[in-house]
């Protein structure tokens, strides 16, 4: 387990008593399994998983979601998203990180450890590796349940930029070295 994943687990344990990380990933996995990973259906499947939860549990789910989103803010994953999508803007990368979480714990953690591992998950990639709507499901369910907007969580720490080493989008050889499997699968001619 990487230091980054261990840190995220430690933070979650101390800050989210209403939901464990394992419960979070079970909810994500059930939503993925319910629709075979089809993003058009997965938002509804996630809402169905969250509806029986208490408002505190829904907020805890949201907090863990954004901790995972934060953990995925790396140049390695941005480069992988760039390869998979044929380009990747700031917003596109935000939606890519949301999509990555929606694929489940195994795919997410493998990609955190080694972004090039996404080439091994072609059955989970589907046609679209951006999933904006998934990020809003918990807030929508919370609002339906309570009649109020979900309060922002001031405890979530945000960083100003991606971690790791930046890459040059015009360096074809750099892609081959840094993401050899993704390069071979999506860029090689």
The DSSP code sequence of 90-133 is HHHHHHHHHHHHHT-HHHHHHHHH-GGGGGGGHHHH-S----GG
Residue 86, domain extent: 3-187
Judge if pTM exceeds 0.95. no
Q: Residue 124 is encoded by which pair of tokens?
A: 């989970």
pLDDT higher for 109 or 7?
109
C-alpha to C-alpha distance for 139 and 63, rounded to whole angstroms = 11
- Number of folded domains that form the chain: 1
Percent over 70 (pLDDT), the chain: 85
Per-residue pLDDT of 43-84, as tens digits, reads 999 999 999 999 999 999 999 999 999 999 999 999 999 999
């Amino acid at each position: 387990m990487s230091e980054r994943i261990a840190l995220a687990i430690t933070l979650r344990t101390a800050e989210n008593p209403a939901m464990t990380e394992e419960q979070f990933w079970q909810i994500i996995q059930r939503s993925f399994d319910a629709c075979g990973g089809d993003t058009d259906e997965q938002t509804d499947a996630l809402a169905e998983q969250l509806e029986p939860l208490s408002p505190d549990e829904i907020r805890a789910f949201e907090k863990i979601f954004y901790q995972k989103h934060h953990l995925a803010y790396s140049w390695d994953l941005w480069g992988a998203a760039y390869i998979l999508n044929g380009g990747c803007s700031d917003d596109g990368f935000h939606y890519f990180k949301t999509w990555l979480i929606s694929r489940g714990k195994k795919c997410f953690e493998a990609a955190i450890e080694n972004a090039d591992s996404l080439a091994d998950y072609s059955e989970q990639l589907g046609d679209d590796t951006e999933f904006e709507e998934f990020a809003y499901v918990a807030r929508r369910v919370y609002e339906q349940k309570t009649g109020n907007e979900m309060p922002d969580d001031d405890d979530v720490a945000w960083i100003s930029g991606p971690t790791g080493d930046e890459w040059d989008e015009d360096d074809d050889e750099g892609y081959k070295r840094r993401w050899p499997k993704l390069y071979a699968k999506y860029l090689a001619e």
